[in-house]
């Protein structure tokens, strides 16, 4: 089920693997063109962003391989779960994205899917793939930070 709303935002699904595998350079908020049964399925939290990506095609941006499960209460006019979905961005944003994506090694990846004031939105990130040693460095930094926080916590608890 989706997370409760805070600040008018109700998060449906997050792509945690993307933050691990990629270095985020820039983020964009885009609307997403959906069919009726897709919206109902999203309200139930039935979506998955793993292995999905966005691509600029003919001056428009499309989301590929994002899985929104079929709505179980729908009839035969249900949607295709992995269809290509149009993302709604301003022309200047699309032009800027096209220029950046054509650079070597940059990709558009969805980080999260959420409702904002009743409208479905997707947070897109312009990313560069991390190398294995970059991932190891990130893990080492995170472990060191945890150890420092734990030591400070023990020290403050020891005095009280």
Q: Note whether 135 and 96 are same-domain residues.
A: no
* Structure confidence at residue 5 (pLDDT): 58
Q: Which two tokens stand for residue 97?
A: 């994205």
Report how many domains make up the chain: 2
Q: Which helix (H) or strand (E) holds 41?
A: helix 36-43
Residue-number span of the structural domain to which 19 is assigned: 9-129
* Structure confidence at residue 74 (pLDDT): 75
Q: Note whether 136 and 121 are same-domain residues.
A: no
* More confident: 43 or 80: 43
Q: Note whether 137 and 124 are same-domain residues.
A: no
Q: Note whether 97 and 145 are same-domain residues.
A: no
Strands 22-32 and 85-88: antiparallel
Read off the CATH number of the domain in which 49 is found.
2.40.280.10
Query: Is residue 2 one of the residues assigned to a domain?
Result: no
Cβ(88)–Cβ(32) below 8 Å: yes
Q: Note whether 65 and 110 are same-domain residues.
A: yes
* Structure confidence at residue 62 (pLDDT): 95
pLDDT in tens, 101-124: 887 778 999 999 999 988 999 999
> Smallest Cα–Cα separation from 49: which of 30, 31, 34, 69?
69
Within 10 angstroms of residue 45's Cβ, the number of other Cβ atoms is 15
Q: Note whether 124 and 149 are same-domain residues.
A: no
Cβ(83)–Cβ(35) below 8 Å: no
Q: Note whether 75 and 101 are same-domain residues.
A: yes
The reported pTM is 0.74
pLDDT band at 1 (very low <50, low <70, confident <90, very high): low
Q: Note whether 22 and 92 are same-domain residues.
A: yes
Q: Note whether 82 and 111 are same-domain residues.
A: yes
pLDDT band at 160 (very low <50, low <70, confident <90, very high): low
DSSP for 56-107, please give it: EETTEEEEES-EEPPPTT--TTPPPTT--EEEE--HHHHHHHHHHHTSTTEE
pLDDT in tens, 7-59: 778 899 998 888 878 888 889 999 999 888 888 888 888 888 988 999 999 99
Query: Is residue 85 one of the residues assigned to a domain?
Result: yes
Q: Note whether 97 and 144 are same-domain residues.
A: no
pLDDT in tens, 121-155: 999 999 888 777 667 877 888 888 898 888 888 88
* Structure confidence at residue 2 (pLDDT): 56
Cβ(15)–Cβ(112) below 8 Å: yes
């Amino acid at each position: 089920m989706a997370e409760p709303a805070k600040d008018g935002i109700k998060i449906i699904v997050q792509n945690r693997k993307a933050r691990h595998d990629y270095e985020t350079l820039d983020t964009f908020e885009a609307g997403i063109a959906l069919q009726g049964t897709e919206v109902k399925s999203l309200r139930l939290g039935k979506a998955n962003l793993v292995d999905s990506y966005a691509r600029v095609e003919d001056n428009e941006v499309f989301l590929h391989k994002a899985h929104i499960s079929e709505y179980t209460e729908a009839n035969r006019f249900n949607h295709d779960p992995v269809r290509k979905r149009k993302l709604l961005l301003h022309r200047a944003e699309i032009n800027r994205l096209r220029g950046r994506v054509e650079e070597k090694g940059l990709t558009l990846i969805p980080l999260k899917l959420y409702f904002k004031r009743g409208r479905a939105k997707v947070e897109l990130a312009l990313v560069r793939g991390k190398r294995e040693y970059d991932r190891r460095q990130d893990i080492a930094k995170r472990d060191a930070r945890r150890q420092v926080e734990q030591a400070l916590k023990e020290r403050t608890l020891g005095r009280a």
